[in-house]
Amino acid sequence: MEGLLAEESPLARLACVMVGLPARGKTYTARKITRYLTWLGHRSRIFNVGNYRREAVGAEKKADFFDPQNIEFSTQRAAVAENALNDMLEWLCKGSPHQVTSAALNSPSLGTPLGAGLAPYRQMSVAGAGVGGPSRIALYDATNSTKERRQFIYDRCCEANIKVFFVENICDDDNLIMHNIKEVKLTSPDYVGWETQDAINDFIKRIEHYAKSYESISADEFGGAISFVKIFNIGKQVIAISFYISRHGESMYNLEGKIGGNSNLSPQGISFAQKLQGVIETIQTASFLNYPKLQWKQLDELSSGSCDGLTYEEIEQRYPEDFMERDLDKFNYRYRGGESYRDLVHRLEPVILELERHKEEDPIYIIGHQAVVRAIYAYFHGISHEELPYIKIPLHTIIKLTPKAYHCLEERIVVDVPAVDTFRPKHH
Ligand code: F6P
């Protein structure tokens, strides 16, 4: 997907259209994609047709509402899906250089002038950002289970100059489907107040209705122009793995209020390091101690370039313009000769992929610097890039993160060694 975006970066607009029968993990996939893209600094939003349906015709619709042979209901469902599609196209075209006509959108374009409101100084040069703002990726979350429907979506997107990418979730594991129904569907607003077994039976009937007309994606759709991936049995390997993250022990630079550098630990920082093993032992098992230790260049602190070794006050005196600019847009501000938070998240991508791939029970503990820990923390909690650079990550505190399907659990273990507070709030 990054490739598709990079092609037209920094102004790429992409519709990612989900495909699949109900309870196949489409919403789970869409949320994961959105969280990842948001973390990378793109604008990403889900348009869930189920939500539009509930709003338009109410939540308490029985399985028959999804019968493709029922003309009245099919028409209602198509109208709801089209409303969601229109909203998606309108959102995608915001700030786009392609002035989309109201005919293409069925509603007026909300386009804004290129680069409006953005300072020209040291604009981003990395994928996903620049004059005009970051890329926009919409996730169209619905079954989209027939060729005809996909053709309709594709045509509408083409008219609006939007690239389209399809993601099909296929699941042939009955246990997994039942797990999805019980975990997600029965707790949805569609089944409030239903007896569990009645709700399960109704949902299975709904799936059967969709299955009647379901056509899996084939490579010859749109005359062979279709771009797609198929994901099989998503969620099958999801097990609850916890990650631990913390900053290093307090450093001399931390004490002196200086940024950057790789200065020595302060006496309190050394105390933290000494206590760490004992703390880890109590929170996990001794296996942690014999665990392989890796040093990763990717985990270096955000490079502050010419500001390295200065205090915030010194930076303000020497580079007042930069100092203000950073406060105005901390995620995108790039230090002279250094990095921005946006650069940092791109640098940390392999670390995140590694964590996502980690399927063993053995825990991973990452010790990093303030900005690095913020970026990793933000990924797991789905925190926006406006908020990311201001996340509070105190020294001498271990954060345990346990990602779940739709959220992330957190626990903080404060190690009993005092440390300075290096947090600097937004001033301007
Ligand atoms: O102060 C410690 C530190 O890790 C610095 O080296 C780094 O520049 C800074 O934190 C990052 O925090 P912020 O982005 O809030 O300045």
> What rounded mean pLDDT belongs to the chain?
86
C-alpha 406 to ligand 1 mean position (Å): 30
| Catalytic residue, candidates 141, 250, 322, 343 | 141
Ligand 1 pocket member 303 (CB < 6 A): no
Whether pLDDT at 312 is above 60: yes
Q: For residue range 193-225, list pLDDT tens digits in order.
A: 999 999 999 999 999 999 999 999 999 999 999
Whether pLDDT at 168 is above 70: yes
Which residues sit opposite 116 in a β-bridge? none
Q: For residue range 224-240, list pLDDT tens digits in order.
A: 999 999 999 987 765 66
Q: In this predicted model, which residue has the larger pLDDT, 285 or 304?
A: 304
Q: Long-range pairs for 200-208 at CB < 8 Å and ≥24 separation?
A: 202/62, 202/63, 203/22, 203/23, 203/63, 205/63, 206/22, 206/63, 206/66, 207/21, 207/22, 207/23, 207/177, 208/63
Q: For residue range 315-369, list pLDDT tens digits in order.
A: 999 999 999 999 999 999 999 999 999 999 999 999 999 998 887 777 889 999 9
C-alpha 398 to ligand 1 mean position (Å): 18
Which one, of 86, 95, 106, 397, lies nearest residue 246 by Cα?
A: 397
The answer to whether 364 and 337 are in contact (CB under 8 A) is no
Q: For residue range 237-282, list pLDDT tens digits in order.
A: 656 688 999 999 999 999 999 999 789 999 999 999 999 888 877 6
Q: How confident is the model at residue 11 (pLDDT cuts 50, 70, 90)?
A: low
What's the pLDDT score for residue 111? Answer: 28
Ligand 1 pocket member 226 (CB < 6 A): no
Ligand 1 pocket member 109 (CB < 6 A): no
Which residue among 340, 369, 396, 426 has the greatest number of ligand 1 atoms within 8 angstroms of its CB, and so is best to mutate? Answer: 369
Mean pLDDT, range 73-86, rounded to an integer: 97
C-alpha 371 to ligand 1 mean position (Å): 6
What's the pLDDT score for residue 2? Answer: 52
Which residues sit opposite 230 in a β-bridge? 168
What's the pLDDT score for residue 208? Answer: 97
| Catalytic residue, candidates 90, 190, 250, 301 | 301
C-alpha 254 to ligand 1 mean position (Å): 9
For 259, which DSSP code?
Answer: -
Active site residue 301: yes
In sign, the C-alpha dihedral spanning 110, 113, 118, 124 is: positive
What's the pLDDT score for residue 347? Answer: 97
What's the pLDDT score for residue 22? Answer: 96
Phi then psi for 318, rounded to 5 degrees? -80, -40
Which residue has the least CA distance to atom 6 on ligand 1? 260
Which residue among 311, 370, 385 has the greatest number of ligand 1 atoms within 8 angstroms of its CB, and so is best to mutate? Answer: 370
Q: Which helix (H) or strand (E) covers residue 169, if one does?
A: strand 163-170
What pTM value is reported for the model? 0.82
Ligand 1 pocket member 342 (CB < 6 A): no
What's the pLDDT score for residue 123? Answer: 38
Which residues sit opposite 399 in a β-bridge? 245, 412
Give, in degrees to the nearest 5, the angle at Cα 296 between 295 and 298. 160
Q: In 160-286, which ranges are continuous DSSP H helix?
A: 174-180, 196-213, 252-256, 267-283
Ligand 1 pocket member 302 (CB < 6 A): yes
The answer to whether 156 and 47 are in contact (CB under 8 A) is no
3-state SS assignment for residue 98: coil
Report for 90-104, 180-194, 337-351: range of highest mean pLDDT:
337-351
What's the pLDDT score for residue 237? Answer: 63
